[in-house]
Structure 1
């Protein structure tokens, strides 16, 4: 499913290397990024991957979007967004289609979940914090039954006592990722072992193929980049470039590393 069809970057390069988000995304000026059911964004640090996700999240009014501090009289972030073009899916009568279930999930969100102290007061505050992140108002989460709240807090305690960090992270993703949804994931491999990364990839592939879910994922993980069934954009290049998995620098780096390690010592 492709709720979001394409994103066009602003036509004009402005402000050089000093003004966010122009400083990260100027090299993509005028480019059109076409989304797949699973779109993967790869690139070196500073290539604009997370900046791009935050632009998407803000334009789509998604829970988890990060506000940008304004300096001076010009709101450069909103100025940049006003020049972007988003193309969404449409019905036969021209109405735009976009799911209510949407979320921008960053690596620090998952780390916060798995590192919080197991104290009832902190877990209770976390329950309300999570609801606010999901876009619920104070009235909405206050209207939920006390029994439901207590049950979810008990489940959190049990989960943290039973599972490792990686297992807990997978459980959190299972809670967040629901059918008929749109998700932005920023480095979901954080705290996941290689085996757990492959399990997450299988879950994402299944949701995208059978349950009408669309993903845009920023990742450095060669395992996720190889296991996820989607289109890979390499943001390290000046223009938008689609790469196959084996063409990515990170894959070649790992390949050279392991070839060197497995080479007999006499040949080194």
Structure 2
């Protein structure tokens, strides 16, 4: 099994504060300092990377931000627009990594938003509609960085757009602006096919919640595919996920980003997995009742 990336280190709180102070002093106006502050309570944190590394944490724990920092620091390909705010590069410059001097060609960041982008492209081809997705994504990036004050009801429509851009991902913003439902295979089968066709041998992939849109069966199929990709086809995978099927990937190193500081933890000990386990234990009697009823009807 292959490791192209050996470790990734996030800066300490002190280094972040020093670098942010210098960056702010060079600018006359700023609204937010993302991604500074996302990992503000952490000391310098070094993540040792394995052939499969899982990033776990609740909403706001920094899973996606960490993947985006890795992708930028390593110069990986990516498709979907992401939150690259004014101070993003300043934070990237503080991060350190060890591994091969150059990542294999074609190594990439893959997200669930990419699946939606594919569906948009398919709709354009099948229906001859120019969705102008790139123009909407450029508008999304501009709106995210805007400050806006409502002066009259005439400004209300623009204010709604600003709020939508700041609250949603790029694909969610495009979906909202386009309206309507996408035709075609806009289901788990399409999402699974995207990842299985995009991941090829001998590369590093950062996957951001690839389980989105996938049923439990398809999540298990994706898990088997990813295990085989790492074991037999020299892929290295870093995955941000909530899915128990992906958290339980064989041989994966699971980092709990909710812990202070983040630490490796068996997937069964993660708080969310404990919650699921408690839920199913509480309802175990219902399965037993179902078995008895089925037995009596035979």
So what's the TM-score if we normalise by structure 2? 0.67
> Partner residue of 2:234?
212
Q: Quick one: distance in 2 between partners of 1:192 and 1:61?
A: 29
State whether residues 202 and 228 of structure 1, in contact with CA within 8 Å, keep that contact through their aligned partners in structure 2.
Answer: no
Q: Quick one: distance in 2 between partners of 1:224 and 1:122?
A: 36
Once the two structures are superposed, residues 184-234 of structure 1 have per-residue CA deviations (whole angstroms, 9 ceiling, x without a partner) of 100000011111111111111111111111111000111210135310000
Q: Aligned pair in 2 of structure 1 residues 43, 67: CA closer, same or farther (>3 Å)?
A: closer
Matched, 1:68 2:84: yes
Q: Quick one: distance in 1 between partners of 2:130 and 2:49?
A: 37
Give the alignment partner of residue 200 of structure 1, picking from 222, 230, 236. 222
Q: Aligned pair in 2 of structure 1 residues 97, 119: CA closer, same or farther (>3 Å)?
A: closer
Give the alignment partner of residue 277 of structure 2, picking from 239, 247, 255. 255
State whether residues 104 and 185 of structure 1, in contact with CA within 8 Å, keep that contact through their aligned partners in structure 2.
Answer: yes
Q: Quick one: distance in 1 between partners of 2:65 and 2:120?
A: 25
What is the Cα deviation at residue 113 of structure 1?
A: 2.4
Q: Quick one: distance in 1 between partners of 2:40 and 2:196?
A: 36
So what's the TM-score if we normalise by structure 1? 0.74
Superposed, which structure 2 residues align to 1:37-186 within 5 Å? 37-64=51-78, 66=82, 68-70=84-86, 76-89=87-100, 96-114=101-119, 118-120=123-125, 161=184, 165-186=187-208
What is the Cα deviation at residue 261 of structure 1?
A: 1.6
Structure 1's unaligned 5+ residue stretches are 71-75, 90-95, 130-159
Give the alignment partner of residue 234 of structure 1, picking from 231, 256, 260. 256
What is the Cα deviation at residue 66 of structure 1?
A: 3.4
**How many equivalent residue pairs?**
221
What is the Cα deviation at residue 120 of structure 1?
A: 2.2
State whether residues 41 and 216 of structure 1, in contact with CA within 8 Å, keep that contact through their aligned partners in structure 2.
Answer: yes
Structure 2's unaligned 5+ residue stretches are 22-31, 135-182, 288-298
What is the Cα deviation at residue 121 of structure 1?
A: 6.7
Q: Quick one: distance in 2 between partners of 1:85 and 1:209?
A: 27
State whether residues 54 and 239 of structure 2, in contact with CA within 8 Å, keep that contact through their aligned partners in structure 1.
Answer: yes
